[in-house]
Structure 1
Amino acid sequence: MLEGLREGFTTLMSPPPETKKFGEGGYGATFAAHAVATKQPLAVKIIDTRRMRLEAIRRECHMLEQLDHPNVIKVLGHGTGRASTGQQHLYFIFMECASGGELFDQVIDRGANAMPEEVARGFMRGLLAGVQHCHERGIAHRDLKLENVLLTREGTVKVIDFGLSHQYQRGADGAFDRSAPLTDMCGSKSYAAPEVLSGRGYDGFAADVWSLGVSLFAMLSGFFPLDEATSKDWRYTKMAEGQRRGKSTTALVYGWYKRSTAHLSGEVVALLDSLLAIDPAKRCHVAPRRLVPLSGPYS
């Protein structure tokens, strides 16, 4: 299938003007594509291997190939370009098309108007289901953010970009061995868990849960709870103090801006408070079909 897909992109060194570009990063860009035989709409991510190690690209593809879920982007084929076309330095990753934009756009487009809780609930259900699927296969995403969640035209959530992900290996008992803390400081600061930024080691699954909390908070409020979860941000110190005193983190953050949480249900406030627990041991975690220890309309 890869050959048929790649055949239509023999001139990507200079793409035709009508080729739609979905996005661009430091290592490459993503374009609209289609399967030559079936005309099925696709997306193709083209990475310059002179800027990103081939081993790292193939590692990400290997992880994606292990994932098969409606809320995780599906990889359909990948491989290097042909030397005969001068594209041997390019790596093509063909994926299903999710052309509805980033989840981040859904927040930005509303401006000062917060996303209705019912709408956020729908997005969050899909996001939780996708992340749960990853965790069940030992994969910690480590860069969850609204910008790394795409939507289809029908509004289905698709988790993307596994370039920073870590896959735990199974131990003798068959469970994933998470005994050794991860130490890589990765992800975007606004979404990264405090233990990730501290450099003291962390559990990848728990770090993902914090990022989910930041994402849900941003959807419901239109702003981030913190710029970064370190003492460099004055709000982090106040958040830690508030949690030690048993205060609601959601109410505390809203209070800094003289805003009320009255429009939020008790369930979502409790969920946010648990997702954004600074102590990872007190943070809820993603488990089959629900959030533990919390349940309710978001699980």
Structure 2
Amino acid sequence: MAGAARKKLVGRYEVGRTIGQGSFAKVKFAVDADTGAPVAMKVLDKATILNNRMLQQIKKEISIMKIVRHPNIIRLNEVLAGQTKIYIIMELITGGELFDKIARQGKLRENEARKYFQQLIDAINYCHSKGVYHRDLKPENLLLDSRGNLKVSDFGLSSLSKNGFLHTTCGTPNYVAPEVLSDGGYDGSAADIWSCGVILYVLMAGYLPFEENDLPTLYDKIGSLKEPSH
């Protein structure tokens, strides 16, 4: 029809509305014009990436997402590059964040928490088998699909390592393992499992085990935790 608005195309994808936005990227709803399948399109501005010295981080995130293929990990379909933008085409997840579910209803029923935790552990065990360590596991980075299945997302801080011994201090303070806060390096798999344990606590209790407004106090609390003797 002559009066109809032309749809914006990126490659073979028809680009629609913005469904998410972060500091350095927008996420658009898009449709594969060949198959009709809906996808999520993460749009990054090249100049912004270069100005913030994020190019290597973005390259690493993309290379890691190409490695991981698991039912409980968000799937990378392909990456396209234009003159000024990078387009990361991913599986579209429509059920929101696990964080939103907890914020809405508080602690979960045990059988529901068990299901999510099992799916999380399956995904992270798979990542570790590939030498991938997520390093920023938290409910905000766990998405739910239309069937209520968990999908691990956001590999922006992840690392690829043969022996799993890492040195960079990173992650979200409330979920970070004590050894990550030290200067001696840490086992990436153990640090991820610690974060999984904090997530399980949040699922079952509805609140964080470690919570302080002051970061040094929070880190002291995390670092002084003693394991029970029994």
1:202-250 per-position Cα deviation (integer Å, ceiling 9, x unaligned):
111110000000111001111111137x86236446632xx2x526xxx
Q: 1:90 aligns with which of 85, 89, 92?
A: 85
Q: 1:232 aligns with which of 195, 200, 217?
A: 217
Pair 131,47 (structure 1): closer, same or farther in 2 beyond 3 Å: same
Q: Mind listing any 5+ residue stretches in structure 2 that lack a counterpart?
A: 1-9
2:6 maps to none
1:157-196 per-position Cα deviation (integer Å, ceiling 9, x unaligned):
1111111111113xxxxxxx24xx4221111001111111
Give the greater-gyration-radius structure (CA).
Answer: 1
Q: 1:147 aligns with which of 128, 140, 143?
A: 140
What amino acid is aligned across from residue 126 of structure 1 in structure 2? Q
Q: 1:166 aligns with which of 142, 159, 163?
A: 159
- 1:68 equivalent in alignment to 2:65: no
**C-alpha distance in 1, partners of 2:195/2:48?**
28
1:13 maps to none
**C-alpha distance in 1, partners of 2:26/2:216?**
36
Q: What secondary structure is seen at the aligned counterpart in 1 of 2:166? A: coil
1:121-180 per-position Cα deviation (integer Å, ceiling 9, x unaligned):
1111111111111111000011111111111011111111111111113xxxxxxx24xx
Cα pair 2:11 2:80 within 8 Å, conserved? no
The runs of 4+ residues in structure 1 deviating greater than 4 Å are none
What amino acid is aligned across from residue 54 of structure 1 in structure 2? L
Quote the offset at 1:98 in angstroms.
0.7
Query: What does 1:170-209 align with in structure 2 at a 5 Å threshold?
Result: 177-178=163-164, 181-209=165-193
1:108 maps to 103
What amino acid is aligned across from residue 106 of structure 1 in structure 2? K
| Sequence identity percentage | 36
Pair 69,195 (structure 1): closer, same or farther in 2 beyond 3 Å: same
**C-alpha distance in 2, partners of 1:237/1:136?**
28
**C-alpha distance in 1, partners of 2:57/2:23?**
15
Cα pair 2:117 2:200 within 8 Å, conserved? yes
**C-alpha distance in 2, partners of 1:237/1:68?**
34
Corresponding pairs, count: 214
What amino acid is aligned across from residue 206 of structure 1 in structure 2? A
Q: CA RMSD in A?
A: 2.0
**C-alpha distance in 2, partners of 1:235/1:73?**
33
- 1:125 equivalent in alignment to 2:118: yes
What amino acid is aligned across from residue 124 of structure 1 in structure 2? F
Cα pair 1:231 1:237 within 8 Å, conserved? no
- 1:56 equivalent in alignment to 2:40: no
**C-alpha distance in 2, partners of 1:236/1:226?**
7
What amino acid is aligned across from residue 140 of structure 2 in structure 1? E
- 1:157 equivalent in alignment to 2:160: no
Q: Which structure has more RCO (C-alpha within 8 Å, separation ≥ 6)? A: 2
2:195 maps to 211
Normalised by the length of structure 1, the TM-score is: 0.67
Q: What secondary structure is seen at the aligned counterpart in 2 of 1:47? A: strand
